[in-house]
Amino acid sequence: MRLLLVEDEIDIQSFLRRSLEEAGYEVGIAADGKTAQQLAVDGAFDILVVDLGLPDMDGIDLILKLRQRGVRAPVLILSARRSVDDRVRGLEQGGDDYLTKPFALAELLARLRNLFKRNSPSPAEATKLRVLDLELDLLRREATRAGRTLQLTQQEFVLLEYLCRNAGRVVTRSMILDQVWGIRIQTDTNVVDVHIYRLRGKVDGAGQQPLIRTMRGVGYVLRDR
Amino acid sequence: MSSETVKPRIHSAAWRISCWATVAFAFGTLLVFVFLHRFVASDIQRRSDVWLSGEVETLGDVAERTPKGALYDRVVSEVAELAEREVSNRRATEKVPSNSVFFLQAGSDGSLTLWVGAGDGEPYLRAIQKTRILPDLPTDLHVGGIAVPFRVVSIALEDGSHVYLGLSEKDELRVLNRLRLRFFLLWLLLVLLGFGIVFFTTRRMLGHVREITEAASRIGHSDLTARVPTTRRNDEVGQLAFTLNVMLDRIESSMHQLHTITDSLAHDLRSPLTAIRGKLEMSLRYMADEEHADPIVAAIEELDRLTDFLNKSLDVAEARADALRISRSEIALNELLKTMIDLYEPSMSEKGITIGLRCEGEVKVLADAALLHRMIANLLDNELKHLPHACQVTISVRQEDDHASLTLEDNGPGFDPSVLQNVFERRVKGRNSDGHGLGLAFVDAVARAHGGAAKAANREDGGARIVITLPLTAGDFAGQADPIAHQIGTAA
């Protein structure tokens, strides 16, 4: 998958390139708006990551120009600004997404995946999710592990479903808060950890391999191997 | 909603102004009328006195020249009756004069020698004897049994008798009464007219002021680009609007500057933070060794705290300047609280703290959901950090008139009395707090940005209480609009 990264800060550019390449993207780089326009129009990119503060032009103007010139690829906007301005909201409604700096790499990757999924025809929604010996029946809102039914509250089921949909990938605390509770907050307390801890107690029975792993300093991951 | 609460007060100002103006006007015109009345009354008096003096002299002449005898009475009576016919101030329709004039001659011994007039002359004589009447000086005479006094002039004859000519003041009084009645009606009309003119003019003027007040109270909370309405006339109110607009221009430009500063500050700090965080995450990925990973994990967590601190500081700074950018939508406060409590409940119960929500029905506010989330998260984080084991937190939400009230109570140790007064200030924190002292400042900032308020107190039976009020709708700033309206009311 081809990704165009438009970012002028060398430091951010270099680590983003490395981690995006590790995640399997083929990364093209532009450090200013002019280069970005040339590259985006010439090379067929599947997805764009655009920083709003470019040296030669405003990121949103760049995106609007690219749209005019027929670039259809979805855009993830990186913003160091404090609030989302109305134009970003407009783009968001148009199918693009934004992320404020600083961000967790896991979140960046998750948003890129979502953006891509949103913009490609989706297969029929599965009614069942299966990760190793964990099975979720989305219609009956039931979860079983190795045939044993798990007694989950509704909230716990939603949390487990989110982890399953991202099985094998790291999800951060703020991603969990956003996706499971619909809340965008920064908390320095352990609210999410306690929910995970409780869920883990129900999912991982005695003698079973622990499914939910804590990635310290990053977030959580549901094993798929 | 607020306009309805503001209106009557300003009307009452117009009412008050016109009342005072009318009182002054009425008093002034009354003075003028009283003066006129006195002038007219004394003029009428003077005319009738002149007439009386002339007539009595004629009568005295006639009486003196006419020899005493059978004819005397007749001659004098006829002269007296003739005099009566030419009484001044008489109403034209009144053909037969009834006892408006009398002629009386008293002998030197005080007996009644001649009487021309209605009825019996004795009471008149008695009244004359009681009153000291000096010759040639018209005097008021009150006769028993007759309500209206007579104006009496006397003249002494050579034989020692006195001739008295009396003119009833009835006509004079009637003229004055009519004059008074007309004056009064005219005065009433003038006063009412004056009141009406003043009232409508003031109301119109204060109406402009009210428009300006309403517009001004809207500005700043919702929209800084709006301006107060201006009138074409360059009067005081027009000047007020103009000055306010100039002030708003300045506020808008400094607000814009503030946004630019906070934005660039945020940008300048966020970019390096992003780079550092990314690099730390990258190095963490290649770190198989748990032990060596610890400092990096700790560093990432510190960075996240720093970012949070940066965000909150800027938010609090902006909110203090009334510049927090909010995007409102309709939010069911009770639902939002339920979600937040569901999120925090497990962590609370881990610490042995119970948390409950009390609400009666749905409470909807027009507010920024993200800010409310962060505000309540701040409150609950605060409780989670500071409450000792086995405490209880109760959140109640209810609707009061035009605002929603959210109360958070606990039975913990309460606020440190030394910080209670300024617990919502930046950097104020309890002695044992490990926070950066921004949590409650942010709570206050969010409440203010929405046009509400936050109050903190210690409960009588121990524990802390924080009450946050939020207006139900965005346009409703009754809390702010009222004192303004009141000031205008009292200033006017």
Dihedral Cα B369, B373, B374, B376, nearest 10 deg: 130
User: What confidence tier does B434 reach under pLDDT thresholds 50, 70, 90?
Assistant: low
Q: What pLDDT was estimated at residue A142?
A: 92
Q: Which of B347, B372, B442 to mutate to test the interface with A (most CBs of A within 10 A)?
A: B347
Residue B333 and residue B398 in contact, taking contact as beta carbons nearer than 8 Å: no
Q: What is the chain A residue with the closest CA to B326?
A: A83
The residue with greater pLDDT, A19 or B80, is A19
Q: Tell me the helices (H) and strands (E) count for chain A, helix number first.
A: 8, 12
Residue B393 and residue B353 in contact, taking contact as beta carbons nearer than 8 Å: yes
Q: What pLDDT was estimated at residue B491?
A: 37
Q: What pLDDT was estimated at residue B428?
A: 60
B448 burial (CB, 10 Å; 0-12 / 13-18 / 19+) is middle
What would be the CATH architecture of the domain defined by A124-222? Orthogonal Bundle (1.10)
Tokens 């949390």 map to which residue?
Answer: A159
Q: Is the pLDDT at A160 greater than 90, yes or no? A: yes
Q: What pLDDT was estimated at residue B291?
A: 73
Q: What pLDDT was estimated at residue B427?
A: 59
User: What confidence tier does B311 reach under pLDDT thresholds 50, 70, 90?
Assistant: confident
**What are the start-end ranges of the H helices in B286-368?**
290-320, 333-350
Q: What pLDDT was estimated at residue B188?
A: 92
Least confident range of A21-30, A203-212, B108-117: B108-117
Determine how β-strand A47-51 pairs with β-strand A2-6: parallel
Give B 367-406 residues with CB within 8 A of chain A: 370, 373-374, 377, 381, 384-385
> To which CATH superfamily is domain A2-119 assigned?
Response regulator (3.40.50.2300)
Q: What is the CA radius of gyration of chain B?
A: 47
Which range of A64-68, B102-106, B475-479 scores highest in mean pLDDT? It is A64-68
The token pair at B421 is 């007064």
Q: What pLDDT was estimated at residue B5?
A: 41
Q: Is the pLDDT at B393 greater than 90, yes or no? A: yes
Is B344's CB within 8 Å of A198's CB? no
The token pair at A185 is 């907050």
Q: Which of B271, B318, B341 to mutate to test the interface with A (most CBs of A within 10 A)?
A: B271
Of B279, B219, B289, nearest to B255 by C-alpha is B219
Q: Does B261 touch chain A (CB under 8 A)?
A: no
The answer, as to whether pTM is greater than 0.95, is no
| Residue B224 φ/ψ, nearest 5 degrees | -85, -10
The residue with greater pLDDT, B227 or A132, is A132
User: What confidence tier does B435 reach under pLDDT thresholds 50, 70, 90?
Assistant: low
Residue A165's H or E segment, with its range, is: helix A154-165
Q: Does A146 touch chain B (CB under 8 A)?
A: no
pLDDT tens string B214-234: 877 777 555 677 788 777 777
Least confident range of B17-26, B67-76, B234-243, B265-274: B67-76
Q: Does A176 touch chain B (CB under 8 A)?
A: no
The reply to whether omega before A123 is within 30° of 0 (cis) is no
Measure the CA–CA gap between B148 and A151, rounded to whole angstroms.
Answer: 112
Q: Does A82 touch chain B (CB under 8 A)?
A: yes
Edge-first strand listing for the sheet containing A75-79: A26-30, A2-6, A47-51, A75-79, A97-100
pLDDT tens string A75-119: 999 988 766 666 777 777 777 888 888 888 888 998 898 888 877
Measure the CA–CA gap between A90 and B338, rounded to whole angstroms.
Answer: 30
The residue with greater pLDDT, B343 or B213, is B343
Q: What is the CA radius of gyration of chain A?
A: 19
Start-to-end Cα distance in chain B: 23
ipTM entry:
0.84
Q: DSSP class of residue A121?
A: P
Q: Is the pLDDT at A216 greater than 60, yes or no? A: yes
On average, the pLDDT of chain A sits at: 87
B93 Cβ contact partners less than 8 Å away, ≥ 6 residues apart: none
On average, the pLDDT of chain B sits at: 80
User: What confidence tier does B1 reach under pLDDT thresholds 50, 70, 90?
Assistant: very low
Domain edges within chain A: 2-119, 124-222
Is B343's CB within 8 Å of A181's CB? yes
pLDDT tens string B341-387: 999 999 999 999 999 999 888 899 999 998 899 899 989 998 998 88
